[in-house]
Amino acid sequence: MIRKKKIVITSLVVAIVMLLSISIAYAALSTTLTITMNQITQNAMTWDIGFQTGTVTGVVTTTNNLASCGTATATSTTISGISTTLSDVGDRCAYTFTVKNNGTIGGKIASISVTQPSGQSCSVNGSTMVCGDITYKLHYDSATSTSLVAVGNTIAPKSGSTPTTKTIVLTIENTGSAAPTADYNQSGFAYTIKYGQN
């Protein structure tokens, strides 16, 4: 009986040692992974497309020095005060202004609406309007550029803190076939360019 008791105690000790060995082996093979964060920031999206503000001086091209262009005033949404005097064929006034995107959302021209001068019957094609001998156009980059402002044109969002810009030139030109023999006025014309999200 004492011998049986010794065998049982010995067996129990062996079993406990085996369990401890398994526990130690298990602990040695376990790994704890931890993910910690400081903060999560969600940046706000901004919409900020408009004109560069300031004074826009018209540049005259004339054949007989009788044409004049004057200046216009640019706010963030409007160019106003354009007043030109044209005389001979080829006389032209060009107003250069800048459209800038200082937002984080790209823009696309959704529509271009043209208001015809009072009392005139004009033909309109995109950003080009012809009223009698006077032709109005919106160009990109220069007065002689053949790249005209059109629906679908895009402007990218700002890059870092630097706004994206586009140079637009409004030209008003006497494109008639002969020098006018009488004075006449055109007034009340306007372009409305609507940008939507690209």
Instruction: Look up the domain containing 124 and give its range.
Output: 49-178+188-197
Residue 95 in any domain: the answer is: yes
Would you give the end-to-end CA distance of the chain in angstroms?
Answer: 93
In-domain check, residue 170: yes
pLDDT tens-digit series, residues 66-101 = 899 999 999 999 999 999 999 899 999 999 999 999
Which tokens sit at 19? 């369990």
Provide the β-strand partners of residue 112.
193
Q: Which residue has the tokens 């216009």?
A: 72
Model confidence band, residue 7 (pLDDT cutoffs 50, 70, 90): low
Evaluate if residue 6 carries a pLDDT over 90.
Answer: no
Instruction: Report d(CA 124, CA 131) in Å as an integer.
Output: 9
Under the banding of pLDDT at 50, 70 and 90, the label for residue 153 is: very high
**How many Å is the Cα radius of gyration of the chain?**
38
What local confidence, expressed as pLDDT, does residue 178 receive?
A: 86
Buried b (16+ CB within 10 A) or exposed e, 99-126: bbbbbeebbebeebebebbeebebeeee
The pLDDT value recorded for residue 84 is: 93
* Residue 75 placed within a domain: yes
Single pTM value for the model: 0.78
Would you say residue 93 lies in a domain?
Answer: yes
Q: Is 138 part of any domain?
A: yes
Greater confidence (81 vs 24) lies with: 81
Report the percent of the chain where pLDDT is more than 90: 67
In a domain, 98, yes or no: yes
Q: What is the DSSP string of 4-21?
A: HHHHHHHHHHHHHHHHHH
User: Would 24 be classed as within a structural domain?
Assistant: no
Report how many domains make up the chain.
1
Instruction: Assess if residue 101 is contained within a domain.
Output: yes
Beta bridge partners of 73: 55, 80
**What kind and span of H or E run contains 3?**
helix 2-28
Tokens standing for residue 130 = 């012809």
How crowded is residue 149: how many other Cβ atoms within 10 Å of its Cβ? 21
Determine the average pLDDT of the residues in 140-156. 97
Arithmetic mean of pLDDT over the chain: 88
What is the Cα–Cα distance from 143 to 159, expressed in whole angstroms? 27
Q: At residue 185, does pLDDT exceed 90?
A: no
Residue 110: partners with Cβ closer than 8 Å, 6 or more residues away: 151, 194, 195, 196
Rounded Cα distance, 23 and 15, in Å: 12
